Every structure is written in structure tokens, then in C-alpha cells.
Structure 1
Amino acid sequence: MLRSAVRSAAAGFVLLFAAVLAADAGTGSGGVDAPPPPVRLVSAQKGLPLGGPTVIAHRGAAEYAPENTLAAVDEADRRDVEWVENDVQRTKDGKLVVIHDATLERTTDAEKVYPKRSPWRVGDFTAAEIAKLDAGSWFGKKFAGQRVPTLASYLDRLDDNDQSLLLEIKNPEKYPGIEKQVIGQLRASGWLDATHVMDGLVVQSFGVDAVREVHKLRPDVRTAVLGTPSRAELPEYARFADWINPPLKGLSSSYVSAVHSLWGPHAERLEVHTWGVSAGQAKRAFIAYGIDGVIL
């Protein structure tokens, strides 16, 4: 996979975020406009920051297309967003699919197709059964027929678009061994080569044990802990996690500084990528706290 040295953040919500960052940057002495804080570009080697916050499309471009579908991936690509975030769970017959909720009814027509199978838990359906569901019509008629993608098809689409992935293992406690299975699918899809591992992949979870297990299985893969671990826990987490990804609520400059003071398993400073934000909130968080990125 060939990656550009710099990928533009030029349209859609990335453009909005850049504009919000640039606006209201203040003025210097003598009334001269101060330069706005830079919007982060992305390194071809490691996907690391070059001066501003990384924008990661939450569940794909979920404001513009049905979340976690291939249409959302494509919409993020159309808007020149390199990084996308998704959620991975496991079906009854052991297949990995990309969906956020533990149940199917909110983002598919499962209630209509399988009316007697409440509460429509993802793990109670086979991959073939889930493949029959419409995962797009709830968002808009033009997305009718979108499916819940398998992780394999999702990875293929990202490769086609030359995009990077923040992969969340969702509800790992419900799916024993899913960490090994995710690593297996990443390997089968060609995502554990040097290019992907260095430039285009981070695996995250709220489940700290799951993050630790991914690091154990593949120490070369960058990982992230979702949530706000206590400051006392951070040194231990730095042994197996590269990013700490807390919600904006409760975030402080002193907490970000505590994270940034530590070095992760790949001999790089720990990063902070926050979520639960609007573009305006992200701008303020970047200026006030010095965060590394936003999941927007």
C-alpha cells in the first residue's frame, strides 16, 4: 500500500475543523493577527503528528453516511479523511463484523426481518443472517441496501481508499478470544505488514485486558486504552498502550500532561486522542490541553 507523504484535510468536517481551529486564534501585540494553530498533517512513515491534531472519523463519516458501513468509509475518503474509527464484534458462528451496538435494531431492519428474535443481539445471529439486513435505510433512502460489513470487507475497502484504521474491539468480555481472532484477520488481510503497522493501524478498547492481550500477541501493533485511567494507573498502561483516549468530559491540561510525560512500548511519547466532541469543542481542547487528536 502506497501512502502519500501528506494527505490534505480539505473538505467536509475536516475543513470545518480546520476553519474552527484557525478562527478566533487571537491577536498578537500591536493588533497584528497571531498565526492560527496548525492543523495536523500526517507523516508517511508513522502517521505521527506534524504540528496539529489528527482528525479521526468516528464510525466513518457518520454524520454523512450510516455509521460503520462501507458508505461511511467512502464518505470519509471523499472528504479527505485518512483515519477512520470502527467497532468490531463477533457473530454466533464466529465471524467478525463491524457494528457499534450490542444489538441490531437501531442501525438495521432486524426487527422487521427477524420479528421473533428480540433482543436482536449481534452474537445471537450468524454472519449470513446479518448479511441479509439493511444497514442503510434508517439513515436515508439513498443508503438503502448498505450491509453490516465483515471486518475483512472493511479492511479491503480501507486499502482501496488508502486509509488508516483505529479499530475498536467492542465488548471484548462478550467474545472470549476475540483479540486473537482480530489479529488473525488483520494478518489474513495483509494489515500486519510494516507499512500498515507503522503508518495505518491502532487497536483500541475500553477493555484494558483486551488491549494488553493485543500487545502481547503483536507487540509491534500500536494500541490505545479508551477511557480515563487514573494517573496512578498510567505508568502501568504505558507498558502496553501507545495512546490514552479519554472522553472530553473531565479532561484537563494536567491530565494530558501526565499522559504526555510517559513513553509507550514503542519508545514514543504517549498520545491523547479525545472523543465526544464537536468541532468547536475540539478546537478549544487542542488549544487548552494540547491533545494529539480528536475522534470526531
Structure 2
Amino acid sequence: MYARAAATTAALLGAGALVLPTATASAQTPAPGTVKHDQPLVVAHRGASAYAPENTIAAIDKARDMGFRWVENDVQRTKDGELVIMHDDTLKRTTNVEELYPDRAPWKVKDFTAAEIAKLDAGSWFSEKYAGQRVPTLKQYMRRVSHNHQKLVFEFKKPELYPGIEKQGLRILRNEGWLDKHHVKSKLVIQSFSADSVKTVHKLRPDVKTGFLGTHSVADLPAYARFADQINSTHTSISAAYVSAIHALRGPHGKPLEIFTWTVNDAPNAKRAAGFGVDGIITNTPDVVRKALRDG
């Protein structure tokens, strides 16, 4: 049997090169009572991924059962062109791919067909309780999110590896009923670490809300506000001044630019981020964050 993997902190936080804010947005702790926005949205990162294997149906069901409407996912593409839900560009960390296909290192998603990936166990690495969980296709995933009456922060992961993935992803979202006025208005955000990918989504569907991942220079924010509704940054890299600089700008839909911060998994940092005035908190432990926000 393959070794039971442990999810690393770096993987749970997500990967991406970050540019720290300018000196005016240096780290600071907000003074009590400085929250100026409504309580931030709580988004279950890759589903409730502290309690069920990330990016599986079980993880979004767990978020539903815990009472969370917003979930986040990652989308990549198989060798034969199927979009699947997977954070890493390799299948190694969260499936038994080494056991089933020992001679196919480095086990990249793009080197396996959808049928091959469908055979993988995507749950046992997390807990034997979840043995037999599969890597969902985007179609399967969207149908479950719809069934659960959930909302989605949808991430194109490593889009530079998959030319045209934005158009393909949008087509699937449209076919699954997610690009109608109701969903676009209040149930969907599409984000990426790639500015080109976010620009492409905005060009193809200018009505869709978009997020540009990273902590970018304040001086560059006006340029990004032309195609991104959100600047979504790591919680360790932001400050009250940085959040204020984001909120001072208007995005492509004429509304104040927003920030969803990630990945916040403890009460002190949840309260800290809320004190900065963030619009959303993306977390593996949504129950911990919800309790922290309610406790104040």
C-alpha cells in the first residue's frame, strides 16, 4: 500500500509567488472596534478540507453539513481534455497514483486520461474513513454544488499548462446553469494567480466576478482593477492599510474592489483579518473562523 500522506501547510495555503505590499501597507494589528465592513464571508477552502479530503465531493458535503454555503475549488485538465478538481498539478499527494501507476512518475494531471484518474482513491491519504473518494470531474463537482445549494470560488489552477482552459471552463459552467443572471450576481467568483487568465475570463464573460490572487504592489492595483473585482491575498501578507487601499478602488463593475484572504485556520488570525475589513476569509476550518467572528 502507498504511504498515508499528510497535507503540508504549504499545500493547504496554496502556491504562488507574492509581491509584498509597499511600506504603507506593512503588517499591523487593528485597534479594537475598527471593523468597518459587514462580517466577512467564510469560504470553505477546497471544501471543509480540515475535516474531509480536499477537493472531493465529501469535502463540499462536509461544508454543507457544517452550514457553509461558500466553497472554493481548483480546476486542472487531463490528457484527454477533461476538467477535474485537483489542487496540485501532480496526482501524487492526494491519491494512490503511485500504487496504481508506479512507472509513470512524476504523475502529472495532464499526463493521465480522465478514465485513469477516475480509478484513483482520493480519500485514503486523508483517512480510511474516506477510502474510495474519487477525483471529481468539473461537471460532477458543479452538479453537487448545485444540489447542495452552495456558492463557489472557482480557481483556474496553473492555467499556463492548459491553453484555452478558461473558455472550456466557462462553457461547462454555462452548460451546468452557472452563468445565468442569478448565479453570476451572487453565487460565483472565478480567480487565478495568472493575470492573463483573469483577463481572459473577464474578456469572455465581463459579467462574471473575478479575483486576482496574490499580494500586489499598491501602485499596481489600479491596473488590476480594470479586470478583477477582487485582490485575494494571503492573510500573513496584508494589513489594514493594504485592505483600505484595495477598498479605495472600484473594480470593472463599478463597485469597490474586494479582498478575500487565505488561508486562515485559527481564531486570532480570523479576528485579525476581520479587523482589517476583509470581505471574505478562505479557510480549511470554517467552523473555527465562524466561531471567532461571532465571538468578536
Give TM-score, length-normalised by structure 1: 0.82
Q: Which residue of 2 aligns with 1:46?
A: none
Cross-structure match for 1:52 = 39
Alignment-derived partner of residue 63 in structure 1:
50
Q: What residue is the counterpart of 2:259 in the other structure?
A: 272
* Cα root mean square deviation, aligned: 1.6
- Classify the secondary structure of the residue corresponding to 1:215: helix
Q: Mind listing any 5+ residue stretches in structure 1 that lack a counterpart?
A: 1-24, 27-33, 39-48
- 3-state SS of the aligned residue for 1:220? coil
The alignment status of 1:243 with 2:230, answered yes or no, reads yes
Matches of 1:269 and 1:185, distance apart in 2: 29
Question: What residue in structure 2 maps to residue 156 of structure 1?
Answer: 143
Residue 100 of structure 2 aligns with which residue? 113
Matches within 5 A, 1:1-296: 51-280=38-267, 281-287=269-275, 289-296=276-283
The offset of 1:212, in angstroms, is 0.4
> Following the alignment from structure 1 to structure 2, what is the Cα–Cα distance between the partners of residues 165 and 142?
26
Partner Cα distance (2:160, 2:56) in 1: 24
Quote the offset at 1:278 in angstroms. Answer: 2.2
Please state whether the residue corresponding to 2:246 is helix, strand or coil: helix
Deviation of 1:37 after TM superposition, in Å, equals 6.9
After superposing on structure 2, the runs of 4+ consecutive aligned residues of structure 1 that deviate more than 3 Å are none
* Paired residues of 2:145 and 2:151 also in contact (CA < 8 A): yes
Q: Deviations over 1:44-74 (max 9, x none)?
A: xxxxx7x211100000000110000000010
Deviation at 1:291, TM superposition (A): 1.1
SS at match of 1:75: helix
Gaps of 5+ in 2: 1-30, 284-296
Of stretches 148-157 and 264-273 in structure 1, the one that deviates more from structure 2 is 264-273
Q: Give CA-to-partner distance per residue, 1:204-246, whole Å, 9 cap, x none.
A: 0000100000000000100000001211111111111111101
| Secondary structure at the counterpart of residue 167 of structure 2 | helix
1:133 aligns to what SS in structure 2? coil
Deviation digits for residues 140-195 of structure 1 (CA, Å, limit 9, x no counterpart): 11211100000001000000000000000000111111111111110111111111
Distance 1:253 1:37 in 2: 10
User: Could you tell me which residue of structure 2 aligns to residue 18 of structure 1?
Assistant: none
Q: Which has the higher contact order (CA 8 A, sep 6+)?
A: 2
3-state SS in 1 of match to 2:236: coil
Within 2, Cα distance between the matches of 1:91 and 1:59?
A: 19
Mean Cα deviation higher: 126-135 or 266-275: 266-275
Q: With structure 2 as the length reference, what TM-score do the two structures score?
A: 0.82
